[in-house]
Amino acid sequence: MVNEKNAHYTDSDIQVLEGLEAVRVRPGMYIGSTSEKGLHHLVWEIVDNSIDEALAGYATTINVNVDKEGVVTVRDDGRGMPVGIHEKTGVSTVETIFTVLHAGGKFGGGAYKVSGGLHGVGASVVNALSEWLEVRVYLGGEIHYIRFENGGHTKEPLKVIGTCPKEVTGSEVRFKADPEIFKEGTDYDYQTLYERFRQLAFLNKGIKIVYTFEDKDGEKKEHTFLYTGGLKEYVHFLNRNKNVLHQDMIYVDELDKDTNITVEVAMQYNDSYVANIYSFCNNINTVEGGTHEEGFRLALNRVINKYAKDNKFLKDSDENFQTDDLKEGLTAVISIKHPNPQYEGQTKGKLGNSEVRKVVSNILGEGIERFLLEHPQEAKQIIEKAQLASKARIAARKAREATRKDPLDVGSSLPGKLADCSSKDPTISEIYIVEGNSAGGSAKMGRNSTFQAVLPLRGKILNVEKARIDRIFDNAEIRSMITAFGCGVGDDIDINKLRYHKIVIMTDADVDGAHICTLMLTFLFRFLRPVIEGGYVYIAMPPLFKVQKGNAVRYAYSDEECEEYKKEFVTNFKIQRYKGLGEMDPEQLWETTLDPKVRTLKRVTIEDAMEADEAFSMLMGEEVEPRRNFIVENAHFATLDI
């Protein structure tokens, strides 16, 4: 609904706070880095401006085009940027927006109620970091045009270059990222852009985003994202590979008139044991939570516990369900729109506004209560799931306590005995998680015991994606890893107590080894995610072949590398294919996989926790069909002559 009071977007709405300086000198201060992540941030900033125009009620469609030369074009059908002369700068308002830092309609001018942009610096920062940038404004039947070059310098002032129908309005920004700034390359990733635009469409129901991407060969892909159901469609998408407990979702979408905060929440339970709860403020993913998530938990606890006691699922003397009990198997997306959000930290990872807690708790609490009263059968299923989770939590408590002992005290009881390193400095200490006693024996003998520890595991560990928490903490292999790492697990993690700053997964280079590695990563992702986020998890890369001619030895880590060594030796060489780590003697294992001077390690990262969560659920969860489809779509088939 358009607010008539704010319907006129004028030159006076643009307030200048300070000049544009030092962006090219210190681009990381404004876009995080000049890597691929920073490159894509340029697109987010321009698209966010169009999203803000749509949120204000003036735009319905946003077109984003990336051509094979890496030129990005963003066009919206909003009001069009103001084109008059700005009173403070003496140049056109369009030029002011793109050349003055902190110039925009987001600083009290009344143009926007909410905004997700980078405090309004987006347009000028993108200009400063571009080889060139062009703006076209469609307004009043005229097409206004301005071009900037060489990092934000105005090529020529704003001018009219043509006419258009008066009903056609909006803004178009075209830019080419500057390779002098983005030295790692200026090629955009199709999938990264696709996933962000899909997410923005989910978070802003009714806004159409048309995305066109042209690859280097000129092949084009086009997608239109439009979700009238908003977060309900988002949760349905996140739960598509899971068995849901109820088809109707718990859903609220309401404006609190006292604070002008809009709260939209969609939530749905499934039969898994994992909680997937994501929160956003003004389209920004608040990965560290904040007061909106606190309000969510308050509503969840208050309403479901009251319903359970009112309907005799819990006796008055029974202990209330805890948050973890009520979160098990819950997929939820929390999105608020706030006129003046306050974040903790530069990354906007955590929302700090105290008033949000009560607003979310009240609005969502009424929504949950209404759902439970209107859906008694589904309410019973939700509470029965919470009861099972509560029993499992209590049973897991004792098993978890066992992991808090000193590993040296319980070493003799571990299924694979921990061979610790002598160093107590975690910054240089490493632990190799090895499959089987044979490989473990070689690793123990071949390692440098000063800083390298070895923990052999017995076969494949438990798939935590399919197990309840009590089974997980009762599993010997998992308990031994938690104990050895020393930093706790789940909500009890203290990363400062991590005993090794390199946790290296070392498995055989075969299908079983890949499966064990995946099981390990699933466990770490679900229960020790900060360890992955901190960059402490690695995968070892043992060689596949040993190629030897006389005293000359080469280790090959791929079929292609093996072929190169065969060409080097020409004739009279021997090839050994390593089927497992246990086939290597300690010296070979050291000189190929353990020696820091020559080894290759892959660091495990989480660029997008939501996408990672989806992948783990699909690959390791109960549903077979999505996994089968993934294998068919991604497998490489070979024709064998038999």
What pLDDT, on a 0 to 100 scale, did the predictor assign at position 597?
92
**pLDDT tier, 519 (very low <50, low <70, confident <90, very high otherwise):** confident
How sure is the predictor about 353, in pLDDT bands with cuts at 50, 70 and 90?
Answer: very high
CA distance 10 to 109: 9
What angle, rounded to 10 degrees, do the helices at 36-55 and 190-203 form?
Answer: 30
Give whole-number Cα distances, 392 to 82, 399, 620, in Å: 60, 11, 21
pLDDT of residue 1: 45
pLDDT per residue as tens digits for the range 562-590: 999 999 998 899 998 887 787 888 998 99
Please give the average per-residue pLDDT across 309-328, as a whole number: 93
Fold of 231-399: Ribosomal Protein S5; domain 2 (3.30.230)
pLDDT at 53 over 50: yes
C-alpha dist (Å) from residue 153 to 70, 124, 137, 297, 498: 20, 11, 19, 50, 50
Q: How far apart are CA 236 and CA 248, in angstroms?
A: 10
DSSP letter assigned to residue 159: E
Q: What is the C-alpha separation between 214 and 69, in angstroms, rounded?
A: 9
The answer to whether 98 and 148 are in contact (CB under 8 A) is: yes
d(CA 250, CA 236): 12
Q: What are phi and psi of 252, to 5 degrees?
A: -135, 150
pLDDT for the residue 115? 61
Mean pLDDT, residues 184-198: 94
Residue with tokens 């926007």: 112
Name residue, tokens 């019973």: 380
- Residues in contact with 620: Cβ distance below 8 Å, sequence separation at least 6, in sequence order: 463, 465, 466, 518, 519, 522
- How far is Cα 124 from Cα 312, in angstroms, rounded to an integer? 60
Q: Which tens digit of pLDDT belongs to each residue from 217-234? A: 999 999 999 999 999 999
Q: What's the CA gap between 241 and 390, in Å, rounded?
A: 25
**Six-digit token pair at 249?**
């979702």
Could you give the strand order of the β-sheet that contains 142-149, starting from the edge strand earlier in sequence? Answer: 153-163, 142-149, 130-139, 170-177, 71-76, 61-66, 208-214, 220-225
pLDDT above 90 covers what percent of the chain?
A: 57
pLDDT recorded at residue 236: 96
* Number of residues written out for the chain: 642
- In sign, the C-alpha dihedral spanning 628, 632, 633, 635 is positive
Top-confidence residue, 106 or 429: 429
Tell me: pLDDT of 291 over 80: yes
| Distance from C-alpha of 161 to C-alpha of 175, rounded to nearest angstrom | 19
Give 410's pLDDT tier (boundaries 50, 70, 90). very low
| Closest to 137 measured CA to CA, from 224, 49, 211, 16 | 49
C-alpha distances out from residue 85 to 88, 137, 241, 251, 349, Å? 9, 14, 54, 46, 37
Most confident of 160-174, 515-529, 622-636: 160-174
Question: E strand or H helix at 546, and its extent?
Answer: strand 545-549
Helices and strands of the chain, counted as H and E runs: 20, 25
Question: How high is the pLDDT of residue 518?
Answer: 85
Helices 476-485 and 511-527 sit at what angle, rounded to 10 degrees? 60
For residue 215, the one-letter residue type is D
Average pLDDT rounded to a whole number, residues 237-255: 94
Inform me whether the pLDDT recorded for 640 exceeds 50.
Answer: no
- Mean pLDDT over residues 423-440, rounded? 91
CA distance 83 to 97: 10
For residue range 83-137, what is the model confidence (pLDDT) as tens digits? Answer: 999 888 899 999 999 988 766 555 455 556 666 554 345 899 999 999 999 999 9
Q: Which fold would CATH assign to domain 405-542+588-606?
A: Rossmann fold (3.40.50)
pTM for this prediction: 0.74
Token pair listed for 402: 């066992």
Strand, coil or helix: 73 = strand
Q: Which of 220-229, 262-271, 391-400, 488-497 has the lowest mean pLDDT?
A: 391-400
Supply 42's token pair: 């340029």
Q: Which residue is listed with tokens 């079929």?
A: 559
Active site residues: 435, 508, 510, 512
Asked whether 99 and 154 are in contact (CB, 8 A), the reply is: yes
Grade residue 471 by pLDDT with cuts at 50, 70 and 90: confident
The CA distance from 136 to 523, in Å, is 51
* Tokens linked to 154: 């105005």
Give the type of residue at 222: E
Nearest to 70 by CA among 260, 215, 272: 215
Q: How far is CA 127 from the centre of its chain?
A: 27
Distance from C-alpha of 339 to C-alpha of 113, rounded to nearest angstrom: 5
Q: Strand 330-337 to strand 276-281: parallel, antiparallel, or no bridges (unpaired)?
A: parallel
Q: How far is CA 28 from the centre of its chain?
A: 20
**387 has which bridge partners?**
none
Determine contact, residues 430/499, Cβ cutoff 8 Å: no
Phi, psi of 231 (to 5 degrees): -70, -25
Sign of CA dihedral 234, 236, 241, 242: positive
Continuous segment of H or E residues that includes residue 154: strand 153-163
Q: Stretch 247-257: mean pLDDT, rounded?
A: 96
Instruction: pLDDT band for 373, please (50, 70, 90 cuts).
Output: very high
What pLDDT band is residue 497 in, cutting at 50, 70 and 90? very high
* pLDDT value of residue 415: 37
In the predicted model, what is the mean pLDDT of the chain?
86
Q: Sorting pLDDT into bands at 50, 70 and 90, what band is 261?
A: very high
Instruction: State the residue for tokens 């400062």.
Output: 496
Provide the sign of the torsion angle of the four alpha carbons 344, 349, 355, 357, taken in this order: negative
CA distance 450 to 457: 21
Q: Which CATH architecture has domain 4-225?
A: 2-Layer Sandwich (3.30)
Sign of CA dihedral 178, 179, 180, 181: positive
